[in-house]
Amino acid sequence: MTARIIDGKARAAALRARVGEQHAAFERAAGRKAGLAVVLVGEDPASAVYVRSKGKATEAAGMASSTHRLAAKTSEGDLLTLVRQLNGDPAVDGILVQLPLPGHINENAVIAAIDPNKDVDGFHPVNAGRLASGLQGFVPCTPLGCLMLLKEELGDLSGLDAVVIGRSNIVGKPMAALLLAESCTVTIAHSRTRDLAAKAAAADIVVAAVGRPEMIKGDWLKPGATVIDVGINRVPDGEGTRLVGDVDFDGALSVAGAITPVPGGVGPMTIAVLLRNTLLAAHRNAG
């Protein structure tokens, strides 16, 4: 068997086009654009690349984008002041503070300062609580993108066994909550899990979000399983480097039923869902 490759790039392009059309209708009805404010503190090159592509994608969807770049030495107080100013700005529907923040800033305090109804990242404890309780809120972009890929691939997920490898607030925990809401039987595995291979072998769905290059081996998988690889790891390759996921892609190809590649799988979905969340925020704030 050779696994189907799940084309996240194409799925994300389709979602972005759909959000662009829906936004055009919103703009005609509301007489204004939806607005996303992105805050970047410091000069981390990877974060700068992400923030630039978020801004570009927002504008490509026809929405208003503003980027606030602050020096690495910015105080927590000054960052909180900016967040509160964005909370009060009626042109701003969504606020995203790019993580990680410099070490002297308390990330949790900054996330908690964002108006939960503008928290398009879905990181605010109120939105985490809404997701855990089955209430309407904002869902973190990466796990929601993974769920969309899974549903497009498998249809109804009800009753399937799913293993989420990783327990972060950004991916693992919300991913598990989403799969549970779809009536999967969910196992959350992490660095202390015993016999991870056996847990993976029992799963119809494997979502890998551990941040360890090629840790999940093909021969761990149940034949025909659907594998979603959230990992983006840069590893040495000859003179240069290359990107690999958390799953040994080549090993998984002959066992899995379907798998996301890295790059071109989950990554492009994250920004597409961010645009979807921003439009949702605009509708909710206008309503």
Binding residues for NADP(+) are 166-168, 232
* Active site annotation includes 204: no
> Taking a C-beta distance cutoff of 8 angstroms, is the pair 101, 107 a contact?
yes
Catalytic residue among 93, 121, 246, 248: 121
- DSSP codes, 158-202: TT-EEEEE---TTTHHHHHHHHHHTT-EEEEE-TT-S-HHHHHHT
CA distances from 186 to 120, 154, 157, 226, 272 (A): 25, 16, 11, 14, 26
* Active site annotation includes 217: no
> What residues contact 127, with CB distance under 8 A and at least 6 apart?
116, 119, 137, 138, 139
Smallest distance from ligand GUN to CB 100, Å: 7
* Active site annotation includes 118: no
Nearer to ligand GUN, 211 or 251 (CB): 211
Catalytic residue among 22, 33, 54, 246: 54
Q: Which residue is nearest to ligand GUN (CB)?
A: 99
The residues of the shown chain that bind ligand GUN, judged by CB under 6 A, are: 96-99, 121, 141-142, 270
> Taking a C-beta distance cutoff of 8 angstroms, is the pair 285, 93 a contact?
yes
Nearer to ligand GUN, 171 or 221 (CB): 171
Residue 209: how many other CB atoms lie within 10 Å: 23
Smallest distance from ligand GUN to CB 121, Å: 5
Nearer to ligand GUN, 97 or 281 (CB): 97
Name the token pair of 25. 């209708």
Smallest distance from ligand GUN to CB 122, Å: 9
Nearer to ligand GUN, 37 or 221 (CB): 37
Catalytic residue numbers?
Answer: 54, 98, 121
